[in-house]
Structure formats: C-alpha cells, structure tokens
Chains A and B, each alone.
Chain A
Amino acid sequence: MVNFDLMTVETIASKVEDNSLIGIPADYSGVPMSVTIEIIKRKKRNLRLYCLPLTTIQGDMLIGSGCVKEIETAAVTLGEYGQAPRFQDAIENSKIKIKDSTCPALHAQLQATEKSVPFMPLRGIIGSDLYHNRKDWSVIDNPMKTHSKDDEKIVILPAVQLDVLIFHAAKADINGNVQIGRRRELATLAHASKKVYVTVEEIVNEDFFECELKASATLPSLYIDGISLSKNGAWPCGLTDYYTLDSEEMNKYAKAAKHQETFDTYMENFISQSFYSNNLI
C-alpha cells in the first residue's frame, strides 16, 4: 500500500488539456516517453511546450504528431543523431510558433515564479537577435548601480508559470516523494508548475526522509499531484543508473522522421506496440 495517488500513465495523459503550457525536461533529466505516447494517442492539440532548456525526440514526436502550437526553447536536436527533422519542417513551413530562447533565460523565468516575483534580470542576451524577436523581454538600466560603469543595461525576463509538468524518474517512496538525484532543474520546473505528474521505474517500501543523503536528492510529495509506475518509461531516451539511450532506436527514428509519411508509419508502429509495462502494484 502507498500513501499517495497512484495512477495509470493513461490517466496522467488525460490530465493534459489542449492549449496548456507544458514543462518539457531535457534529455538528461528523465523524459516521460510513455506518457508522451499516450498524449499523442489522445490527439491532444495546441500544446505549448516550455523546454528546460531543450528537447530531443519527445518534442520532435509531439510536433510531428500535430500536438504542438508553440514552443519556447533553447534548442531542439537529436544530439548525436542529428537535427530534429519534424521540428525543422514545422519551423521552415510555419506550422508552429517558436519563442527562441537561451538556456539560462529558460531557467530564470521559472526561478522568478519559484520566488513569486514578476521578473528576473539576466546578463548577456543584449545585442542578440533572440532579444529582438522577444516582445516579452525588456532592457532596463541597472537600478542598483552596482556595475563599475553606472549606466549598465540589463535584460529582464517575465515569470513563467507552467500549467502542467510531467517527467520520468527512478524511484518514488511509499509517501510519494520522488528521487531526482542531482537533476535539480526538475525541482525548478515542479516549483513553477500548477500540476506535476511523475512516472517512475519503481516504488520502494521506504521513506526517503529517513536518510539525509536520500532526502537531499528528493522532490517532496507536496509538489506532486500523481505518480504512475512505468518501467522503461523514458525509452528510447536513457535514465541515469537504469538504462542508457537506445542508439539503434534513435537512429531508426532519426531516419524515419526525415519525411512526414515515414514518420507517420513509424509512429503507427510505435503506438501499436506495448513497450512500457504499466502495472499497478
């Protein structure tokens, strides 16, 4: 027995509403692929992706499947497997809107929400075309006059609140606390999101707060609205200490995604097969 809301992957996917602003973790911080497939199956539409700070196959699949209206990101890429083809196609043919950003800005906008302040300053950015294309960013004079030259210009970025965050992690304990290790950006995302759902490889019969070392690597249950057991839930992406990225599948995807027709066939296969075991304990 567990002391939290144990739900299915399907239920988590059903919580994602059309038009919502959804937090997307990077390839190294637990990509929720099993839920992503359910989102695609349910034909969710007009999603707005907020990547912290980038996305790989997850974002590319959602875009190729027609689920996405807008993306705010520092990059979309398949890493060693090349460019993200469905993303490229969507941009080059104006199928989706992009808010091009840079990694530290994506962090800072969520950090503003964490602190419940309306904006966050960040150095850099001035003089880039990123800035020129972001109507929601501003430049101010540093009001603190702390720079050696007292007329320093500095960028301010708006606080961003996410509607929903979904990520995949290693373990949950019996009280619904989730192990995130040193992937602290997951905590930043969670703090800035109205709803948070997590899929895990396993649920362990212990309380992480009884061990200081484990507690320091934990996202507390107070930020979490539902957990699902999903073995291999990040596949074909990797999960630290569990499995590495599936090179063969990434190559297969990179090739298939080059054209919409071959992508569609790939996705039909992907959806019809059951890669993820989803047993309620």
Chain B
Amino acid sequence: MKKGNPMFSRARIPYGTWGSSFFPAWQMSPLAQVNIAQFAGEAANYIFNKRKVPKNTLDYLIIGSTVPWHWKFWTAPLVSSLLGHRLPGYHMEQACATGLQATVLAGMEVQSGANDVVGVLTFDRTSDSPVGVFPERRAYERTFALSDVWDNFGFDPATGNAMITTAGIAARKHKLDRREVDECAFYRYKQYFETLESGFLDRLLFPFELLNVQGRPLGKVDSDAGVRQVTLGGLRGMHELDTCVTSGTQTHASDGMATLLVTSKAKVKELSTRPEIDIQFIAKAEVRTGPSLMPEAPTLAVQKLLGRTGFTMDDIAVVKNHNPFAVNDVIFSRVMNYDWHNMNKTGCPLVWGHPQGPTLTRALIEGLEEAVDLGGGHVLMFGCAAGDVGIAAILKVS
C-alpha cells in the first residue's frame, strides 16, 4: 500500500453511474412511511435508467444499511429484485462507515475476479425505526425492548456512553474552543447552500415521486428537507448539550439512499458516459481509538493511512468526511494542521443529515464529482463510526 500503487489494480468506479436521493430529515418526507429497502431498490433502478446503465449489466450487489427493515433477512437478492434484476450478493453494515466500506468491498469483489459489475446500494430509514424485542432470560430485565436508532445513539453498550457524550469528551481532550466549532459549523452550512445554489448537487441527487398502495401520489422526496439556513449568532446562542456540542453543531437523523457501481477497467467503457475519467482505489485504513473518543478516530485513521502510503495532505485534492459533529472537523484540522475551510466544500453530513448507511456513499459521490471538476486528483474520504472507529480511504481521479 505504497504511494502510487493502487490497492485494487482491476477495480474502478465508472464515472457518472452513481446517484443518491436527497436526505430529508427524519419524519419530514414520505420516506418516513415506506419500506426503505423497497425505496432503495426502485430508486436505484431509476437512477441507473437516468445514467443509461441497463440493470442487467450488474452481476452482484452489496447492500448496506444499519437500521433493520422489513424482510431484511432476504438481503441483496430481495433488494436487487426490487431493482428489477435479482442478483446474488450480501448485506453489510458498519454503522456510519457502511457506505465507504461497502464500496471497498465491491472493489474487492471486482479485484478478485469474482464479479465484473458490482452494485453498491446503501440506504437507511431512521424515521420510526423498528423496536426490537430481545428475550434474554439470563438478564435482570429478562426481555429488552430497543428502539433501534435512538436507543443505540444514546448508549454504547461497550462504554456506557451516548454518541453525543463522545463528542464532548473528545472536545475536552483536544481543548476545542466552542467559538471555533460554531464558526466551522456555520461555514459548513454556507458551503452547502452555495453548492445547492450552484446546481452541483443536481449532478448526483435525484428527486423522486412516491406512490401510495393505490398508486396515487404519496409525496415527493426532492430536497434535503429540514436543512435550514443558520446564522453564526444563532449558533452561538444555542444551548450547549455537551462541550462544544449544540443542536446546530451536530447532525440530524435523516432518511435516504445512495448507490454507485464498481467495475473492471475494461467495463468502464460500456458503463460510463465519460469513460476517459479513471477512478481508482488507492488505499484504505481503519482504527479504533480510546473509549468514547469517536470524533477523533477518523483523524487517527487518516494519519494511519497517510503513514502507510507515504501521502501527505499536500497530495490530496479533495478532503471529505463524515462529520456528525463539527467537533470532528476541528479536531482533524488541529491534529493534521489542515485548514477546515478547505474540506467538505460541497456539503457534508453535519448539514445534510445522517441516515448512516448511505451517508459516506453520498459523501464519496460528492467528493468524486468535486475532483472531476478540479481536473482530477486524490480524494481523501474519512469518517467515524459507532464503536469509536474511524475509517479513511484515498481514491484517485484522473
């Protein structure tokens, strides 16, 4: 995994075959009412249509989601049948690292020669998450009822702490200044709305009209509903929930899907509308940081990745991360001595939300599009995940 040697010589991401839904905040769109796997399958099929990719060219599907959905047992064959082309494949999940990890796994499928065109389809519905009932007669309570999203956010069973607590602990460890965190969050909103205004997101986000069971309109999913303009004064005035964490400097739960393809270099010509653009997998790393320090884990993962590959931040054209807390970005900036103004230029999960499974998929798509606009370069993707884990990867667009 040295600089210049891609981790997968055979695998490529064909430019422009990807797409994502908008990520409306939880309970703010018709997605709150649907089987999200069905939505993901049908939406992916629609996206492939618009991308001129016949679904029958796919020969394997990796799906990624973190919140249980109806008929989850049937994993990729079911979701691909909803896409209109029943395929072998599997389901994977790694909390908010799901999107990036699923993409890397798809690269492995192609690299190994097992498959030529692998779909990555990630999705989650945080709205009205299922409640699991776990009979455990040995336990004091004998039976646990667990609301999948909120009860997990609120309690890491390995450490006993909530997600938000990890942000506070990490902020304190790195002696962050609330004012800088607020400024960073404010800047992230500014970046998002400028990008939205520019039309950049039209290249990757697809609006959808949903139908009820009678086939009549149920509603539209055509915006990152719930994202509102903020002011710096407004952010500064917000109640601090933990150190440097307010409702304005943390993400929000949302619903959505995102998909992309991974294929062989030879197949790119068939699938991509711009086959001259080459997108390679360069390297990937993961770390686990100390208990309840999750927001610093991505930084450590990037450090590890750069250390192993020989890259420096000067080699990177696009920096994009999954930042459920603005704290994440400020820690990264401080540790890596990298100006947080230069990252997440087209938006980030802090602003557009946190449906977990597809979060890093959308971020990755945005990052690749940004690199194409720059004429190519290395794209550094990273983010945190439940369990105080950080993941990072470098892709090369040329």
Q: Tell me whether A and B are bound partners.
A: no
- Which residues from chain A sit less than 8 Å from chain B, CB to CB? none
